[in-house]
Amino acid sequence: MTDAPRITAASWLMIAVLGLTWGGTFMVTEVALEGMPPFWLAASRIGFAAVLTTSVWAWRGFPAFSDPATGADWAMTLLIGTLSSAIPFSLIAWGQQYVTSGFAGVSMAATALIILPLAHFLVPEERLSLRKVIGFFIGFAGVVVLIGSQAFDSTGTSLETPGRIACLGAATCYALGSILMRRLPRIDPIGLAALLLIAGAITTIPVAVIVEGMPPMPSVRIWMVLAFLGLVPTAAANFLRVVVVRSAGPVFMSLVNYQVPVWSVVLGALILGEPLPSSLLLAMGLILAGVGLSQYGALKRLFNR
């Protein structure tokens, strides 16, 4: 049985860091794709992160479940690892070949909306309320405004519909992974992060071999980019994600999905000199309003201390 969600100032800081980290990942991923095909890119970053996180876990003596774990607990951990990285990474890598980047961005933001009904039925502490639902839809509207009309443009390819289904399937996997992670018994967060990444690596590496054959030998520059992707947005961010989901709950964690496109746009302007869309301020206003409304109780407790 898990404890009730505890949303603290540290929880808010962690989702802000995650939003910034994952928002900046798109730029780095574009560089990595210059020397590594998409499925091997996913496998490489997960594999590197799995080795790194498992090394830290080993250094700490491999602590895992606080109570003796059942076979069902270990099976659930394997399933969560597959749902949290292997399946969605592969679905996005395949789906983005046939859909617009705008649709892919909206699909990831939809994770927050998918989590709402799942959490209501599967996590007793995360019941739906009208305020939460309205807040999350306002935040989602902010993401759509930010991305603009391209969010629902058609690419005209014959596999566009399967591609869209793949992107929405990835969002559903992220939602299910977060819900199931919350339902696990007490477990060491570094151990859980390592187990999830190991499960992801076990799944993604064979898929990459089957789909793309053996990987090309990357240049030193690409090796450095892959190391960064494995260390920061995969290993470190996965650990933070585990901590947030386990402490503050999957619904709170889903707020990251509204931040990622904002940070992607802002960092693209600051680092790459890309133009800022005129809708940015309106979109940010809607997103902040949605977050504030959906998390009104947590914000009130935070500022009334």
Report pLDDT digits (tens) over 167-199: 899 999 999 999 999 888 888 899 999 988 998
The β-bridge partners of 187 are: 65
Average pLDDT score over residue span 85-93: 82
Position 175 scores a pLDDT of: 92
Position 187 scores a pLDDT of: 84
pLDDT, averaged across the chain = 86
Which of 20-34, 120-134, 150-164, 207-221 is predicted most confidently?
207-221
**Does position 303 have pLDDT exceeding 70, yes or no?**
no
Report pLDDT digits (tens) over 194-235: 988 998 898 889 989 998 999 888 899 999 999 999 999 999
pLDDT interval class at 50 (50, 70, 90): very high
Position 2 scores a pLDDT of: 56
Position 224 scores a pLDDT of: 93
Backbone angles phi, psi at 36, to 5 degrees: -145, 130
Question: Bigger pLDDT: 227 or 158?
Answer: 227
**Does position 299 have pLDDT exceeding 80, yes or no?**
no
Average pLDDT score over residue span 286-302: 83
Helix H or strand E encompassing 67: none
Which amino acid does the sequence have at 87?
I
- Report CA torsion sign: 167, 83, 127, 257: negative
Report pLDDT digits (tens) over 112-134: 999 989 888 888 778 888 898 99
168/283 Cα distance (integer angstroms)? 22
* CA–CA distances in Å: residue 129 to residues 51, 75, 126, 294: 41, 32, 9, 9
Question: Bigger pLDDT: 96 or 149?
Answer: 96
The β-bridge partners of 65 are: 187
The answer to whether 287 and 263 have CB atoms below 8 angstroms apart is no
Q: Please provide the DSSP assignment of 203-267 as one string.
A: HHHHHHHHHH-SPP---HHHHHHHHHHIIIIIIIHHHHHHHHHHHH-HHHHTTHHHHHHHHHHHH
**Does position 31 have pLDDT exceeding 60, yes or no?**
yes
Give the rounded percent of residues in the chain with a pLDDT score beyond 90: 35
